[in-house]
Amino acid sequence: MFPMDKHKNIPNDVNNAEENEQISGQTDEISSDSANPKMDSVDEQNLDSKKPEVPKGEPEKNPAQKRASIGKGSIFVEPIKRRSFFSWLTLAWLAFTAATGTFFGIMLRFMFPNVLFEPKQTFKAGYPDDYSVGDVTTSLKEKYGVWIVRSTEEIYALSTVCTHLGCTPNWLKNENKFKCPCHGSGFRKTGINFEGPAPRPLERFKITLANDGQIFIDKTKKYAYEKGQWSDPESFLRV
Amino acid sequence: MAKDQKGKKRGFISRLGDSQVWKSIIRTGVPRNRRGRMFSVLNSVFLHLHPVRMPRHAVRLKYTWCAGGLSFYIFCVLTITGILLMFYYRPTVEYAYTDIMDLSEQVPLGIMREIHRWAAHLMVITVWIHMFRVFMTGSYKPPREFNWMVGVILLVLTLLLSFTGYLLPWDQLAIWAITVGTNMARATPFLGHEGPGAALLSIGDINLVHAGSDVRFALLGGRFVGEAALLRFYVLHCIGFPFIIIIFMAIHFWRIRKDGGITTPV
Ligand code: HEM
Ligand code: FES
């Protein structure tokens, strides 16, 4: 992986041996250069074509001795210096990579604040008797994104997020429906969609009674009609 | 100085070109021949992106429509006008809308905002036209397939610049357009809380990807389009995306040359 590894494993490392052969081969070649008429003009092409020739000829001389000398060369000429240099370098690179990686993680986490200045996801919404039968209460819409609807038997909390693309519909009392201004989806008082592009009914939130008898709404739990969740006892409040 | 060795009066340009000031900036002096011109292109940081010599067909308007060049020009216009707008616009719920009104009605000439807005529309159009021309001339083929991909990234960045800028006027149109637009991010596989696979990322009962931790949240800084979203879009629009698009433009232009200049018309 790192240059260091190569140098540690010299005796077994074929790649490395080849590299060294080329290098020493080249010095050989230079001495015989003038004897070889082909090599007289040194231009780029010649240098290129020269390289592959060298390793071919070289091993015939004395491959075993050569390999040994490579090992010797690497180990004895400047042994400790090189090794420690490469291991420090490896360590430095690893540390650098780790630090950079960590920083990217920090960057990602940075985008998700610990404190949100938004209305709470759970809140109390007064007593059941504050709501009269047949009414759609719109007073919590602005702050909490909830309509409280009371029918003859139950109270439920409808999400004000249009199931088409997320605009906020308006409750039209005279027409007895929720109407979305963005693309015209319409929903009945129950939240069931009946016109426009919305593909499914509005969602309902978890609604329970708190100990003090107030209605308690938890927006983190949603109930979807199309999944049959509206029969869940926490999706409505029996009154 | 005003006269040469033979005592003849020399023209202003000629004297300028030999002055120390000029030569300290443009080392090769006034280009007087082909070699001189080549040197001035090679030695200028701005000109060196361009080749020193160009085949005649490469500048034929009929072939490129100059759509790529126009896109770049409009990007420059947008950068300059955008920086000017930043002197008046404050990205807060309290001021954003009124500052925009102020920009159209009170700021001298009231035109900077219109230039920025029209140029923004125009850039999207020219980038599409450029892509269309590259496609129709088959210029995406090897060796230019990499530059086509860089181009796709440039297109996406152009659209993202457009999208983030759209929220800044903070009117009803802006807020709901961004609401609708970012809702698409809910459905991102694994990363959006309503996307396929998001439900798989959970530890026991605890969902890891929910409305408060998905990509949409990262984009908006909240669960709905509010104060934090305005600020995030502002920063992305003014700094983030321009910074990234400039890097990719540099790669794009550099690659055109490395791929052997633009394609030859058949
Ligand atoms: C920010 C947007 C972009 C800018 C500023 C830009 C700029 C340029 C310029 C100045 C050229 C030189 C030729 C010409 O003007 O037509 C060019 C060529 C090219 N562009 Fe773009 N470009 C952009 C987006 C794209 C897109 C969206 C694509 C396609 C996905 C694309 C793909 C290419 C390719 C493949 C070439 C080489 C064309 C050839 O060899 O004939 N670029 N670009
Ligand atoms: S978002 Fe409500 S109809 Fe499209």
Cβ atoms within 10 Å, residue A138: 14
Based on the fold, state whether residues B152 and B86 are members of the same structural domain.
yes
- What pLDDT does residue B55 have? 80
Residue B109 lies in a domain: yes
Indicate yes or no: CB of B180 within 8 angstroms of CB of A117: no
Indicate yes or no: CB of A112 within 8 angstroms of CB of B224: no
Based on the fold, state whether residues B71 and B142 are members of the same structural domain.
yes
B132-180 residue pLDDT tens: 999 999 999 989 999 999 999 999 999 999 999 999 999 999 999 999 9
Q: Which residues contact B261 (CB under 8 A, 6 or more apart)?
A: B51, B54, B55, B58
B169-214 residue pLDDT tens: 999 999 999 999 999 898 899 998 888 888 888 888 788 888 888 9
Low-confidence ranges of chain A (pLDDT < 50): 1-54, 56-59, 61, 64, 66, 68-69, 71-73
A43-63 residue pLDDT tens: 444 444 444 444 544 445 455
Mean pLDDT (whole number) for B3-19: 75
Could you check whether the bond before residue B143 is cis, i.e. omega within 30 degrees of 0?
yes
Indicate yes or no: CB of A116 within 8 angstroms of CB of B176: no
Residue B184 lies in a domain: no
Full residue range of the structural domain in which residue B241 is found: 66-167+225-258
Based on the fold, state whether residues B160 and B253 are members of the same structural domain.
yes
Q: How far apart are CA B9 and CA A102, in angstroms?
A: 67
First to last CA, chain A: 70
Mean pLDDT (whole number) for B208-237: 92
Helix (H) / strand (E) element for A147: namely strand A146-150
* A203, A159 contact by CB (below 8 A): yes
- What pLDDT does residue B71 have? 97
Q: How far apart are CA A58 and CA A65, in angstroms?
A: 12
- What pLDDT does residue A79 have? 55
Based on the fold, state whether residues B91 and B13 are members of the same structural domain.
no
Residue B215 lies in a domain: no
Based on the fold, state whether residues B16 and B127 are members of the same structural domain.
no
Based on the fold, state whether residues B113 and B232 are members of the same structural domain.
yes
Q: Which of A111, A118, A167 sits opposite B179 (nearest CB)?
A: A167
Based on the fold, state whether residues B148 and B75 are members of the same structural domain.
yes
Q: How far apart are CA A119 and CA A124, in angstroms?
A: 12
Based on the fold, state whether residues B122 and B248 are members of the same structural domain.
yes
**Count: domains in chain B:** 2
Compute, in angstroms, the gap from residue A140 CA to the centroid of ligand 2.
20
Interface confidence: ipTM more than 0.85: no
- What pLDDT does residue A1 have? 41
Highest mean pLDDT pick, B44-48, B248-252, B260-264: B248-252
Average pLDDT of chain B?
90
* Domains of chain A: residue spans and CATH: 3-83 (no CATH), 122-238 (2.102.10.10)
- What pLDDT does residue A116 have? 87
Q: How far apart are CA B201 and CA B211, in angstroms?
A: 14
Q: How far apart are CA A17 and CA B219, in angstroms?
A: 53
